[in-house]
A and B are shown apart, each in its own frame.
Chain A
Amino acid sequence: DTGVSQDPRHKITKRGQNVTFRCDPISEHNRLYWYRQTLGQGPEFLTYFQNEAQLEKSRLLSDRFSAERPKGSFSTLEIQRTEQGDSAMYLCASSLLDTQYFGPGTRLTVL
């Protein structure tokens, strides 16, 4: 296990299309986080899972966004009807206790 992985690393899509990102956490980690990061800003929290339960969702997560973590392992983040404002780096992190380990991110560009 070489750490948190994310797929794809880059995604270019047209406005209005749906996109799905995947995150594979470190195998024994029960917590999983999604963040969004735009240029010049720190990561903004989107949502948090403990095992398969989604415990917290940010107000940034509009109804076009949905995240799942079936069986408490990998997670997916789906954005429906993408908008240009969704262009950002989407980061995933996992943790066992309080130290989060980050993936490389998925860079989304909405044209």
Chain B
Amino acid sequence: AQRVTQPEKLLSVFKGAPVELKCNYSYSGSPELFWYVQYSRQRLQLLLRHISRESIKGFTADLNKGETSFHLKKPFAQEEDSAMYYCALSGNYGQNFVFGPGTRLSVLP
């Protein structure tokens, strides 16, 4: 069965420090992987997806099929990055959409 795990419930880093939010998945097939973010008092929104291979707000994520991971990274965290981050996967046609439990990132001044 498809599953997404995010081992850290809370991650605290200081401003300017590197940050890595971990995500591992299990899926029988080739999933599409996403990172969604929810800032305080805002709705859930897409941050980035693996197929577009883009950097958004300085964040990148690389799909490692061997390790079934899709970790989110940023070299220098900013206070405005503080939010809830969810890793998610789906099948090729939007089916079987599964979210991880989320990691709360707190960037300290």
Contact = CB atoms under 8 A, between A and B. Distances in A.
A and B interact = yes
Interface of A: 31, 33, 35, 40-45, 48, 50, 55-56, 91, 93, 95, 97-105
Contact of A55 (B32, B44, B95): B95
Which range contains the number of B residues in contact with the other chain?
Answer: 20 to 34
Interface stretch (B14-22, B62-70, B72-80, B97-105): B97-105
B100 A42 contact: yes
Contacts of B9: 40
Interface of B: 4, 9, 32, 34, 43-46, 49, 51, 86, 88, 90, 94-102
Contacts of B4: 42
A50 B91 CA distance: 14
A100 B99 CA distance: 12
A3 B102 CA distance: 24
A45 B32 CA distance: 16
A100 B98 CA distance: 12
Contact of B97 (A41, A48, A101): A48
